[in-house]
Amino acid sequence: MNQRLKFSIHLIVSLLLLAILIILSIRFGANKNESSTVFNAIFHFQKNNVDQQIIRNIRIPRVIGAVLIGVALAGSGVLMQSITKNPMADSGILGINSGAALMLTVSFAFFPHLSTQGTTIFSILGAAFTSILVFVISSLKKSQMSPTILVLSGMAISAFFTAISEGLALLLHLKQDLAFWHFGGVSAVSWVQLKNLGPWIAIGIVILLFLAPSMNLLHLSDDSIKSLGRNINVIRILALICVVILSGISVSLVGAVAFVGLIIPHIAKFLIGTDYRQIIPLTLILGADLTVCADLIARTINPPNETPFGLIISLVGVPFFIYLARKDGNNA
Amino acid sequence: MDIIETKDVCVSYDKKLTIRDLSIRIPKGQITTLIGPNGCGKSTLIRTIAHLLKPSKGTVFLDSQNITQKKISDIAKEMAVLPQTNNLANDLTVQELVTFGRIPYRKRFASMSNLDHEKIDWALEKASLQDLRTRRLSTLSGGQRQRAWIAMAIAQDTDTIILDEPTTYLDLTHQLDVMLLIKELNEKEHRTIIMALHDLNHASRFSDQLIAIKKGQLQVSGPVQKVITQQNLRNIFDIDAKIIEDNSKPMILTYDRWRGETV
Ligand SMILES: Nc1ncnc2c1ncn2[C@@H]1O[C@H](COP(=O)(O)OP(=O)(O)OP(=O)(O)O)[C@@H](O)[C@H]1O
Ligand SMILES: [Mg+2]
């Protein structure tokens, strides 16, 4: 089959899937709604109808939040995997999410009256700091670091930061505020947050799409790229900025959710091959598919209780991770 | 006319001095081969003249111009480099890999020109890869993979081609094919070839000039006949070689470990 056609079909199917998931998500939750209620909530909103209010003020922002998170996490995952040339990289696994979460805890603990924008900046700073740490660690060894070692250092960083976060939370009695951050979930996403954070994600996605053609070079070694006359460091730095923005934002929105960024790029590559101009858009949409679906399951599996959304993703993510680790081990 | 010249070049990894005060000249339009034991610095020298490593001291000249004053995008149109280890890109198909060779000629978002397609087909044909063009590198044998990488360097269509051990992994026949291909690129198209080889008989048969390196220093350089001598081989490789002549080029018939003193 023609590669372009194949790509278009995959893109359309995953978009359709996303549309269906979004509609289901708005309709089903702890309480079911008639289609007409959903329709009215969007097009003929009545302020004092409780069902419509739930849909308009809770469900819809929540679904949009899930879409944005999926896009952001999958986008930062695909970048991490290609710039570290490491199939197991993911902002969660490399500890970047936990760095952002730590800085969020710090902001809650010491600056409790900060605005959403303010806490987001803390979160992004945490992500930036941890990314730099991970890259310094991975470049200490001159030869290419093995995927497993990079992942292990990331996990150590992650465990360390999570421990500090929890310690702080315990000491300062923040446990309640932070509990949901550790599991991750989009239940609390509000319109205000979306308005504040949406533009950041948009910036991240624009950089990402702009980088897509250059990402193809990362199939080659640094020597080969340079001898083809391209400067890979510029691409690396832009990609890193993009990762930092995307993972910082997603943590401040839903907490540290791992594995989306790990799984989705692999699925996209499995489906359409090696061209990042196609992999990246597909990755973004499939990421949204996964998070919207996970969120839908999270709130319908055991109503009226919410199952943590991060837990559902880990349920798929952990076996996948083990599979990748085994595959990597066999190649070595 | 020299295409490349190094002047008192020193290269270090971290703080370890790997190449010491190396001054060499590589003539244009000829085949020049670097020889020397494992770890003597051949790859390091290749990476230095290809502007992939910065010397800690000294200067590299490309076409009589200090290479640091050239843009890397221009250098990429003058020389192509095949590194010694190429273990990445295994998910790509042969054709996708060879297409990378055209990057120096393409603006960031432009699509490929007719010339690009022509050069890619030509490179695939030269490397006898037409039948394998849609295969993924991970499904190829070591030798086929090596040919794909060579094809990428050919597609770059540069006057100078630098190859670090292009015949590793290849069986006798395919080694010969690669060497003949390199010779053809040199003779028919007047490309300058710079390579590192371990097979001294190939080095002797296919090169015009040899540069022998030992422990990061220049041991001897010049026309093949001057370099491949019993005394030089003792000094460079610690071997005692029985050398005969074939087609006016020295050939090593057999060799033993040298047990005497090196000079
Ligand atoms: N990236 C690196 N970091 C640190 N040291 C290195 C690096 N690459 C090579 N070296 C060291 O520099 C010296 C020269 O290595 P180089 O690869 O240039 O040798 P070579 O002549 O190409 O050997 P071979 O025939 O095995 O390919 C060796 O001692 C090697 O250990
Ligand atoms: Mg070498």
| Whole-number CA gyration radius for chain A | 20
CB A142 near ligand 1, within 6 Å: yes
Cβ(A197)–Cβ(A71) under 8 Å? Answer: no
Q: What is the CATH number of domain A61-331?
A: 1.10.3470.10
The chain-wide mean pLDDT, for chain A, equals 83
pTM of the shown model: 0.83
| Between A168 and B192, the higher pLDDT residue | B192
Q: Rounded to the nearest whole angstrom, what is the distance from the C-alpha of residue A183 to the centroid of ligand 1?
A: 47
The residue whose CB lies within 8 Å of the most ligand 1 atoms, and thus the one to mutate among B22, B42, B85, is B42
Residue A140: CA count within 13 A, CB half-sphere? 9
Phi-psi region of A217 (alpha: psi -120 to 50; beta: other; left: phi over 0): alpha
Confidence of residue A259 (pLDDT cuts 50, 70, 90): confident
pLDDT at B103: 92
Residues of chain A by 3-state class (helix, strand, coil), percent to 5: 80, 0, 20
Looking at the partner chain, which of B76, B91, B92 has a beta carbon nearest the beta carbon of A227?
B76
How far is A217 from A226, CA to CA, in rounded Å?
10
Give every strand in the sheet of B192-196, ordered side by side. Answer: B79-82, B160-164, B192-196, B31-35, B209-214, B217-223
Atom 30 of ligand 1, nearest CA residue: B39
Q: Phi/psi of residue B262, each to 5°? A: -90, 150
**Confidence class of residue A82 from pLDDT cuts 50, 70 and 90?**
confident
Rounded to whole angstroms, the Cα distance separating B181 from B143 reads 14
Task: For residue range A284-305, list pLDDT tens digits in order.
Answer: 999 999 999 998 888 888 777 7
Superfamily of the domain at B2-257: P-loop containing nucleotide triphosphate hydrolases (3.40.50.300)
pLDDT at A74: 94
For residue A41, is pLDDT > 80?
no
For residue B158, give the chain A residue with the closest CA: A228
| Helical H segments across B134-229, by residue range | 142-155, 172-189, 200-206, 224-227
Provide the residue ranges of all domains of chain B, joining segments of one domain with +.
Answer: 2-257
DSSP-derived secondary structure letter, B93: B
Say if CB A181 and CB A255 are below 8 A apart. yes
The pairs formed by B250-256 with CB atoms below 8 angstroms and a separation of 24 or more are B250/B204, B250/B224, B250/B225, B251/B201, B251/B204, B251/B205, B252/B200, B252/B201, B252/B204, B252/B228
Instruction: Give residue for tokens 């890979």.
Output: A232
pLDDT in tens, A175-193: 656 555 555 566 677 788 8
Q: Where are the domains of chain A?
A: 61-331
Structural contact between residues B258 and B234, judged by C-beta atoms closer than 8 angstroms: yes
